[in-house]
Structure 1
């Protein structure tokens, strides 16, 4: 390769030579070439629309000094998406942070934090890439802090929060899958400290991302609220209710709602999982049942949850609530008739409640007569 040929930025031979050096890890040769021809860092005609920075960040073995040299030679390359999946060099480097976040810090020193908010073809930010490839906690913290937590509000095109991406990645590994399966098989509270180290590392990252997404002042007691706001998968929520302290079930949000009340009011999960979520919060948070401004039974009826998808569960958890009255003075079966909704869910709720305690119908009638 001659110096004269270097003047042609589109020379495929140069690209092949560079890729060969990378594949064979001949870093000294590549570093010497970049030092002699710094304009190569501005070349955007590599295959797939890559720049040299894409090339050197695409592999985990590239020396950090070489990445620093290439990034400094053309910082704007950090904002150039490739032609395959619209990945930035930030996406590439975030897939190789299993042992150290040093290379990420190099890019952050030379690039704009706004580029961290840019999504690839799948809607993923560099944070999603980091979560999907078991990046260290310090790397996730660096990404969040560099964007003042704005990156936590960006979801994939499928609506996945970064916590969901982290969960999908961990639970798809054999050790992670086995650990989660064992957790879900044991229907009682667990101590994180007694679980495998790989789970503890995963859980630390989960807590950090969820709590940082919730509020700036969030603490461990807010974890259930944080997971619910992130709309995490149902199995992750089931894991969480086995690990959090009892106070997490009783912690109120800014509107005064504990996690169970928030689920009944907002119904964040699809119909298929609605009963599972309610059951998980009831089964592992029994003390939360009688704390509300309004009994969970009343809240479930008011928000038109069908009998089979939640009302039966909250009634069985606290049967005496059937004798309580709503703030309007209605018994639960009357409230179900008043709020309406689709005919079948309302009728089934009314029927089942009256079936369990039919004398309430007489009590209701006598109350009305006494009021005349």
Structure 2
């Protein structure tokens, strides 16, 4: 088997080097090698020549899936970005990398779905940074595509399974994936209004980028297991990832898992208010987060925040919850009052009047 592989590699090398006469002679002497040859792409020099002579061909889609040549070479860049660089060098318009195929994917999606090198990702983003913010028709961003492609491999699936059980990850296979994931997530977030203007280390915002890209809950949890420090970085509005989780609620069916993971990584997040003065507890109540969906975890992690008033209305959290109405608000109000029943006893007349005025705003 090793000898067969060696002869096949030698034939492949002759073809790649365009030593056509030698390849012809070898095949005549060993015709079975033609069945074992693994050559899939045109020699680089020929590809580069065609691209330089006819740049419009780089963005010309095929009839089957509307894939451009750039989509195709990104799928063949597992070991080198040389071909991608060649096409990008001859690209007339940087917007050419934004062309989407029939499934709505850009060349960046193709690179992510086929385990391309990190250099390939960087070249595409360097050509047109807007590519990281392009989603497929199903709303899937490149970093989410990268995750799905990784967990579909046997090695990737096993690695993630062990990590979710609490085992340490030390494989180079995962390290390469994580490097690409951090790059895509941080580049995405850097181009949002929530990103601070002055960034000393853009990879600190990886978790913010992953949340905004609606990645799988397992991906979110893995990120926190690998780098818990990602949970302590606030965005331009002073909001930590925990604030964003309870405000946008991207994991409606599994948001308790996400909240628990964020609190385990950074328990003090429940005590921190953003620049507008809102703590995660107040934001969660305003977003009508059910008590059992993770609001209880936030309240238990920051019992002192149960007496902190809402900056806008001046209401205590239990009054804010009651003003939401509905069955869920009853449960939240009950549990908050059970934790601090003394909040129902005003300390003086002035505070009594304040409660009456605030409560009347909500009927």
Residues 66-91 of structure 1: per-residue CA shift (max 9 Å, x gap): 21233234222222211111111111
Work out the CA distance in 2 between the residues paired with 1:370 and 1:198.
60
For the 8 Å contact 1:223–1:244, the answer to whether it is kept is no
Which residue does 2:360 correspond to in 1?
none
Work out the CA distance in 2 between the residues paired with 1:371 and 1:242.
43
Q: How many residues align?
A: 313
TM-score by length of 2: 0.78
- The CA RMSD over aligned residues, in Å, is 2.8
Q: Which runs of 4+ in 1 moved over 4 A?
A: 25-31, 363-367, 369-372
Work out the CA distance in 2 between the residues paired with 1:326 and 1:114.
46
Which residue does 2:335 correspond to in 1?
352
For the 8 Å contact 1:222–1:251, the answer to whether it is kept is yes
Which residue does 2:29 correspond to in 1?
none
Work out the CA distance in 1 between the residues paired with 2:227 and 2:289.
26
Residues 149-180 of structure 1: per-residue CA shift (max 9 Å, x gap): 11111111111111001111111111111111
> Which of these residues, 297, 306, 316, is aligned with residue 331 of structure 1?
316
How far off its partner does 1:326 sit?
2.6
How far off its partner does 1:62 sit?
2.5
How far off its partner does 1:97 sit?
0.2
Q: Closer, same or farther in 2 for the Cα pair 1:196/1:259, shift >3 Å?
A: same
Check if 1:250 corresponds to 2:250.
Answer: no
Check if 1:298 corresponds to 2:279.
Answer: no
How far off its partner does 1:110 sit?
2.0
For the 8 Å contact 2:217–2:251, the answer to whether it is kept is no
How far off its partner does 1:345 sit?
1.6
Work out the CA distance in 2 between the residues paired with 1:123 and 1:162.
11
Check if 1:322 corresponds to 2:306.
Answer: yes
For the 8 Å contact 1:333–1:349, the answer to whether it is kept is yes
Residues 227-261 of structure 1: per-residue CA shift (max 9 Å, x gap): 22222221111011112253x32222111111111
Which residue does 2:55 correspond to in 1?
75
Within a 5 Å distance, the mapping from 1:76-225 to structure 2 comes to 76-112=56-92, 113-147=94-128, 149-186=129-166, 195-215=170-190, 217=199, 219-225=202-208
TM-score by length of 1: 0.77
How far off its partner does 1:134 sit?
0.4
Q: Closer, same or farther in 2 for the Cα pair 1:370/1:271, shift >3 Å?
A: closer
Unaligned runs of 5+ in 2: 1-11, 22-38, 192-198, 357-363
> Which of these residues, 193, 208, 213, is aligned with residue 230 of structure 1?
213
For the 8 Å contact 1:27–1:62, the answer to whether it is kept is no
Q: Closer, same or farther in 2 for the Cα pair 1:111/1:345, shift >3 Å?
A: same
